[in-house]
Amino acid sequence: MSRNLPVNTDRIAWDIDALAGTTEPGHPWTRRAFSPLFLEGRAYIEARMRDAGLGTRIDAGGNLIGKRAGIRPGLGTIMVGSHSDTVPEGGRFDGIAGVVAALEVARALSDHNIQLDHDLEIVDFLAEEVSIFGVSCIGSRGMTGQLPQAWLSRVTDGRDLAKGILDVGGDPSILMSQRRPDIAGFLELHIEQGPVLEAESKDIGIVTAIAGITRIETTVEGRADHAGTTPMDRRADALVAASQLVLDIRNAAAERAKASGHFAATVGEFRIEPNAANVVPSKAVLLIDGRAENRRDMEEFCVWLDAHVIKLAATHGVSIKPPLRVSDNLPTPGDAGLLETLERACDTVGARHRRMASGAGHDTAWIAKVAPAAMIFVPCKEGRSHSADEWAENDDIALGAAVLFAAVCDMDKSLQTISQEKPNGTNTR
């Protein structure tokens, strides 16, 4: 890389390689939350935080935090970070790149003898990925008072989540009362997990919004008949109707994605009954995963789906239950002021950038509910993620870390100015 960056590219590569090497034998790159390997990776990160002069602690939600004190107590905390846990066989850069880039920001500030007015915290959030307890974003929800109480009783292998949090150093006894009103602003770097930046030769994606995720279940009911003796024109085949519905959902989502912001709909779960080779299927259950940058797009899609299943049922001589929203999370826009800060930071370091939405969920979405938050993407090869083939070039990650560095320096001044303009010192972003 020809750019003269304020960060150390070799340190970034070293740390990512070291964490990648902490993996289950034969299952690269696997370091799931609450496992011994996860704690081993955490110990490495904490040691590197201390080497950088950060004071470390585990908060009640099980998040690893490295703090660099500012020179003006009371201004609040600038927070940067991501997560170090992985999905099975697919986490060489996902989350890890963001933790290491955040750590490098702290080290680069020291290298350049820059002392911030604000406190700076580098965070490794607990269990951003779906954990062994079947839930995700445990640390970011826990830090901000958004972890459902019932989750603490979720059990796997004889251990409940409360014990799991305790085992990683958290404190479930005070978790539900934990709040972080001091967060002045939060930034997260992440690999894109998609092909757009690579295809457009862009260095940085500035995330305008994290898509809302709506999961919808619908059931098609037909009639079981003998597959060999029932005439083709006298069947009520649930699978045929369901298959048509899958195609129609795909086409409707593709049209909506062309006309508006980021939108995707996927039938990711599909099961039929009785699932026998010589029986006409009597029932099919579909689970639709819908993701929308703009809430209006999701609402309109749901209206279309409700009407479409009625028409489809009549066409195929089956019944289709009204689609049921199993879960429904709203989109999370990036803070407008921080998006502008990130654009200035890109210009400062000479990074080619574009605005884009995230179709995947991130810890940022939970921090954004209580504080100004935004995130950036760096390219990943062919958009591959959540697989052993996941790859991001170290130069791309280093450039992203340089953007974070410039943004943190900008935030230290701009957030301070905003708080001074408010009589009560409240950040209005």
pLDDT band of residue 416 (cuts 50, 70, 90) is confident
In a domain? residue 320: yes
Do residues 65 and 142 make contact, with C-beta atoms less than 8 angstroms apart? no
Closest C-alpha among 314, 7, 352, 372 to residue 182 = 372
Q: Could you give the residue ranges of the DSSP H alpha helices within 119-237? A: 138-143, 161-167, 172-175, 196-200
In a domain? residue 170: yes
pLDDT band of residue 425 (cuts 50, 70, 90) is very low
Let me know whether 205 and 226 are in one domain: no
393 DSSP assignment = -
Question: Which amino acid is residue 126, in one-letter code?
Answer: L
- Count of Cβ atoms closer than 10 Å to residue 28 Cβ: 17
In a domain? residue 429: no
**pLDDT tens readout for residues 220-267:** 999 999 999 999 999 999 999 999 999 999 999 999 999 988 999 999
Distance CA 366, CA 136 (A): 11
Let me know whether 401 and 318 are in one domain: no
Which of 313, 328, 343 is the last residue before a domain boundary?
A: 328
Let me know whether 371 and 304 are in one domain: no
Q: Domain count of the chain?
A: 2
Let me know whether 14 and 71 are in one domain: yes
In a domain? residue 179: yes
Averaged over 95-120, what is the pLDDT? 98
pLDDT band of residue 176 (cuts 50, 70, 90) is confident
Let me know whether 143 and 35 are in one domain: yes
State residue 256's pLDDT score: 96
Averaged over 294-318, what is the pLDDT? 97
Let me know whether 166 and 81 are in one domain: yes
Domain with residue 323: its CATH number is 3.30.70.360
In a domain? residue 197: yes
Token readout for 19 is 């964490």
**pLDDT tens readout for residues 72-87:** 989 999 999 999 999 9
In a domain? residue 205: yes
Q: What burial letters (b/e) apply to 117-141, b meaning 16+ CB within 10 Å?
A: ebbbbbbbbbbbbebbbeebbbbbb
Q: Which residues pair with 80 in a beta bridge?
A: 122, 187
In a domain? residue 1: no
Let me know whether 50 and 65 are in one domain: yes
Tell me how many degrees the CA angle 191-196-199 measures, rounded to the nearest 5: 115
Least confident of 113-117, 266-270, 424-428: 424-428
Closest C-alpha among 254, 261, 250, 134 to residue 210 = 261
Owning domain of residue 416: 9-210+331-421
Let me know whether 286 and 338 are in one domain: no
**C-alpha distances in angstroms, 168 versus 164, 277, 352?**
7, 48, 39
Let me know whether 165 and 102 are in one domain: yes
State residue 179's pLDDT score: 85
pTM tops 0.85: yes
Any residues with CB less than 8 A from the CB of 150 and at least 6 apart, and which?
none
Provide the CB-side half-sphere exposure for 417 (13 A, CA): 6
State residue 170's pLDDT score: 98
Q: Is the dihedral of CA 400, 186, 346, 264 positive or negative?
A: positive
In a domain? residue 260: yes
Let me know whether 198 and 258 are in one domain: no
Do residues 390 and 91 make contact, with C-beta atoms less than 8 angstroms apart? yes
Which of 295, 328, 361 is the last residue before a domain boundary?
A: 328
**C-alpha distances in angstroms, 15 versus 66, 97, 105?**
16, 9, 13
Domain with residue 201: its CATH number is 3.40.630.10
Let me know whether 119 and 187 are in one domain: yes
State residue 429's pLDDT score: 42
Let me know whether 134 and 195 are in one domain: yes
Do residues 419 and 425 make contact, with C-beta atoms less than 8 angstroms apart? yes
Which of 301, 328, 355 is the last residue before a domain boundary?
A: 328
Least confident of 247-251, 316-320, 417-421: 417-421
